[in-house]
Amino acid sequence: MRRRSLVLLGAAGLYSTLTGCGDDEEGFNLKNAPTGTITLGFSQVGSESGWRLANTKSIQKSAEYHNIDLRFDNAEGSQERQIAALHSFIDAKVNVIAFSPVVESGWTQVLTRAREAGIPVVLTDRLIDAADEDLYVSSIGAEFVSEGNLAALYLGLDFQTTKGQVNVVEILGTPDSTPTKQRSQGFAATVSRDNKLRVIDKETGNWSKEGGATAMRKLLRRNPKIDAVFAQNDEMGLGAVTVLQAAGQEPGEKPRIATVDATKAGLQGLVDGKLNYVVECSPIIGDLLMSVVVDLFHGGSVDKRIASEKAVFNKESAVAALPSRPY
């Protein structure tokens, strides 16, 4: 399905122009396109990490730049609050609803109500149960499975000459969230093809530095020999570093550590030699979201899945990237 390329204007208001699609039947008749300010209801997961704060800033800045009336609610980790926010957006008859679901299950009723109200829903960052896939028109976010693949691939490269089994422990994000499930799934898939890495234990760290430290203490008590750690975000990996150091270990040497997000703190951990690999999962998706919102407002068609950029940092690339890192 071809997407329109949109020219989004700031001060002069919004208009969309067709570029790259000559065939009118796929576009819309400009003189009948609705005008006026677009209202977007957005429910954010919370403020749990540097990644999330950068994601919020990206969405708010892009809405302001594109003159979109953003009704923003921060659920601070509560699905109940997210559902209440979505209902309030439906009651307010916003043009488009977008949200990053804190968990994958439990959205059928409210999203069915949005569809019955004729309000398109866009997912950002995380996903919902596949059974409810027809209740949203587009999802914008990272490929979490491949993030897990990459973390295991790069850790595995470090142990190619090691004799015997390499014991790996995982520190997980919040239960039932898409990144928690899919990063683990991707990590396990690559580990299964590696003849040395073995995931011997897991603990939930709930995306925070304190949670990562608590998880690492439990893992250390249960597993005397840990060769590598996969922490599903930077904050939990840096929390694990503090505990490993207190236990007299040398994180970055033994055990080696891979994390995900690539926040400034994560890249600093690479530069300091405490982390070994950081997989990037860009939170800067504000412009992608606003482009989809404007398309929908004008009755355009949008892609069902829009993947954001990713990369893998090591110490050398972190040194180069850190000075200009936006988040």
Q: What are phi and psi of 103, to 5 degrees?
A: -135, 170
Residue type (1 letter), 320? A
Pick from 41, 83, 122, 125: which binds ligand GZL (CB under 6 A)?
125
Which of these segments, 31-39, 44-52, 116-124, 240-248, binds ligand GZL (CB under 6 A)? 44-52
Pick from 85, 123, 142, 258: which binds ligand GZL (CB under 6 A)?
142
Alpha helices in the chain (DSSP H): 50-65, 79-91, 108-116, 144-158, 178-191, 209-222, 234-246, 264-271, 286-297, 315-321
Residue with smallest beta-carbon separation from ligand GZL: 49
Identify any residues that bridge with 312 across adjacent strands, giving them in sequence order. Answer: 279
Residue 191: helix, strand or coil by DSSP? Answer: helix
Which of these segments, 47-55, 156-164, 222-230, 313-321, binds ligand GZL (CB under 6 A)? 47-55
The CA distance from 61 to 192, in Å, is: 42
Q: How far apart are CB 232 and ligand GZL at their closest, in Å?
A: 7
Pick from 261, 288, 295, 300: which binds ligand GZL (CB under 6 A)?
261
The CA distance from 197 to 166, in Å, is: 5
Q: How many residues bind ligand GZL (CB under 6 A)?
A: 13
Using CB under 6 A as the binding rule, whether residue 104 contacts ligand GZL is answered as: no
Q: How far apart are CB 193 and ligand GZL at their closest, in Å?
A: 24
The CA distance from 204 to 146, in Å, is: 20
The CA distance from 137 to 239, in Å, is: 37
User: What tokens were used for 317?
Assistant: 């690339």
Q: How far apart are CB 285 and ligand GZL at their closest, in Å?
A: 9
Q: How far apart are CB 304 and ligand GZL at their closest, in Å?
A: 18
Measured from the CB atom, the residue of 207 and 297 that comes closer to ligand GZL is 207
Measured from the CB atom, the residue of 126 and 274 that comes closer to ligand GZL is 126
Using CB under 6 A as the binding rule, whether residue 295 contacts ligand GZL is answered as: no
Using CB under 6 A as the binding rule, whether residue 52 contacts ligand GZL is answered as: yes
Q: How far is CA 91 from CA 94, 199, 317, in A?
A: 8, 47, 48
Using CB under 6 A as the binding rule, whether residue 179 contacts ligand GZL is answered as: yes
Q: How far apart are CB 118 and ligand GZL at their closest, in Å?
A: 29
Sheet holding 277-280, edge to edge: 197-204, 166-172, 228-231, 256-261, 277-280, 312-313
Measured from the CB atom, the residue of 52 and 256 that comes closer to ligand GZL is 52
Which helix H or strand E contains 235, and what residues bound it? Answer: helix 234-246
Residue 173: helix, strand or coil by DSSP? Answer: coil
Identify any residues that bridge with 231 across adjacent strands, giving them in sequence order. Answer: 171
The CA distance from 212 to 171, in Å, is: 7
| Beta pairing class for 277-280 and 305-307 | unpaired
Q: Which of residues 185-224 bind ligand GZL (CB under 6 A)?
A: 207
Pick from 126, 181, 256, 298: which binds ligand GZL (CB under 6 A)?
126
Closest residue by Cα to residue 209 from 244, 233, 178: 233
Which of these segments, 43-51, 71-79, 115-123, 267-275, binds ligand GZL (CB under 6 A)? 43-51
Using CB under 6 A as the binding rule, whether residue 48 contacts ligand GZL is answered as: yes
Q: How far apart are CB 141 and ligand GZL at their closest, in Å?
A: 6
The CA distance from 173 to 189, in Å, is: 18
Measured from the CB atom, the residue of 16 and 184 that comes closer to ligand GZL is 184
Residues of the shown chain interacting with ligand GZL in the complex, contacts defined by CB under 6 A: 48-49, 51-52, 125-126, 142, 179, 207, 233, 260-261, 281
